[in-house]
Amino acid sequence: MALKITVIGTGYLGATHAAAMAELGFEVLGLDVQPEKIEMLRRGEVPMYEPGLEELLRRHVAGIEGSTGRLRFTTSYEEVGAFGDVHFVCVNTPQKHGEYACDMSYVEAAFDALAPHLTRPALVVGKSTVPVGSAARLAQRLTAAAPVGADAELAWNPEFLREGLAVQDTLHPDRIVVGVAGDRAEALLREVYATPIAEGSPFVVMDYPTAELVKTSANSFLATKISFINAMAEVCEAADGDVVKLAEAIGHDERIGKKFLRAGIGFGGGCLPKDIRAFMARAGELGADQALTFLREVDSINMRRRGHMVELARDAVGGSFLGKRVAVLGATFKPDSDDVRDSPALNVAGQIHLQGGQVTVYDPKGMVNAERLFPTLGYAESALEAVRGAHVVLHLTEWREFRELDPAVLAEVATERRVLDGRNALDPALWRKAGWTYRALGRPNA
């Protein structure tokens, strides 16, 4: 009989995983402790913006016309325990307030709530990003609390999806990494992933600590790559070099590669910043802090980019923001997402506001979340309205919509024609032709 799957936590990771599992043909039950999220999902609505996810969900959510009916949602752990053979835990592990370490309370709460309902043999699979050592600890906690004891097994199966590309990354993963302590867990996960769609992805089996470390080290490498190119941008600015050309040229070397070398105002979001900090904190606990001191530099290069953008904007408006209108194009931490967690764009906007600038933000999908987080900033309903009357325009998230703007039209409504490209994504020639002074991070002024 086909395995029955449950997915605990319906954020970016869980909602996508649940829909993907249904797409692969499994009967799936998704759980969240927030009833309003569950209500939305039952109607086939996605609580966040993620391209392609709503369509995928609606193909499978029970009760939606024409759906396979394979995907259902609940708030009941009892129902989840009775239903599933394999339970994927997909809750988040945010950074603790005022500390580097990550907050494991959601993961722990999920395990504690699930365990008493494991009345038949089950495999619990952690997907959340956790400090190394967590899985071994959680496995003990699970077998102690589950009515079936050692028949409640644990595996760790980190997830590498990118927001904005979550559906594609989940259905066509680069690799499937599983950390296990026994053969049965490995066999069950091979069964889950032995589908026509995931077929062809390398399936790499290892122990718990290595699986946990694969995720944090992959994100650390990616963060390091971005901070490396941003450090080169700083040097380029000092030496009148061009970091965009530099990145292109070094990227031709296959050992370096072209990807993740876009210089700009740096990385943000719910993963990279908090993951490198939690990794440093955990290494400290393990007595291996020296191994990761470079990540402190990666983090500080990254944070410096935001400050630098603020300085460039201040210089552009004559040394003080007082009485100046600043248009901010972009609020999310990256395009094709509505996520504003640790967004460099909003951080820059907030700093300028604190320094007395009159900031007006526009973002194609992030407005609701941005207004909730930064209610004191100004917001406009379009890029054109944000730019109206501006003394400087800051391009801070590289949405396609911004690349397609006509700078000649914007020139008519701006007070001053100055644009700062914080993502190196606009076409300098186009903007200059329309009369704008264009400046980007790490590139000559021209």
Query: Which positions touch ligand UDX (CB under 6 A)?
Result: 159-163, 219, 222, 226, 260-262, 264, 266-269, 271-272, 333-334
Q: E-strand spans in 95-250?
A: 122-126, 152-156, 176-180, 203-206
Smallest distance, ligand UDX to C-beta of residue 394, A = 15
Q: Which residues pair with 362 in a beta bridge?
A: 329
Q: What angle do CA 152, 205, 156 make, to 5 degrees?
A: 40
Residue nearer to ligand UDX on the CB measure, 27 or 50:
50
Residue 96 annotated in ligand binding: no
Residue nearer to ligand UDX on the CB measure, 81 or 442:
442
Smallest distance, ligand UDX to C-beta of residue 276, A = 11
271 is catalytic: yes
CA distances in angstroms from 352 to 196, 265, 294, 372, 376, listed in the order given: 51, 15, 29, 18, 12
Residue 126 annotated in ligand binding: no
CA-nearest of 259, 268, 300 to 422 is: 268
Smallest distance, ligand UDX to C-beta of residue 143, A = 29
- Marked catalytic residue, from 90, 102, 236, 271: 271
314 Cβ contact partners less than 8 Å away, ≥ 6 residues apart: 320, 321, 352, 355
Residue 32 annotated in ligand binding: yes
Per-residue HEC secondary structure of 127-161 comes to: CCCCCCCHHHHHHHHHHHHCCCHHHEEEEECCCCC
Q: Which two tokens stand for residue 70?
A: 């394979």
Smallest distance, ligand UDX to C-beta of residue 140, A = 27
Residue nearer to ligand UDX on the CB measure, 161 or 178:
161
Residue 261 annotated in ligand binding: yes
Residue 225 annotated in ligand binding: no
Residue 42 annotated in ligand binding: no
Q: Which two tokens stand for residue 413?
A: 């409504």
Residue nearer to ligand UDX on the CB measure, 233 or 390:
233
Smallest distance, ligand UDX to C-beta of residue 232, A = 12
CA-nearest of 261, 60, 50 to 161 is: 50
Residue nearer to ligand UDX on the CB measure, 341 or 418:
341
CB 106 within 8 A of CB 71: no
Task: Quote the CA–CA distance of 415 and 279 in Å, as a whole number.
Answer: 46
For 30-41, letters b (16+ CB in 10 Å) and e give bbbbeeebbebb
Known catalytic residues?
271
Binding positions are 32, 37, 93, 129, 160-163, 215, 260-264, 268, 274, 334, 341
Binding positions for substrate are 160-163, 215, 260-264, 268, 334
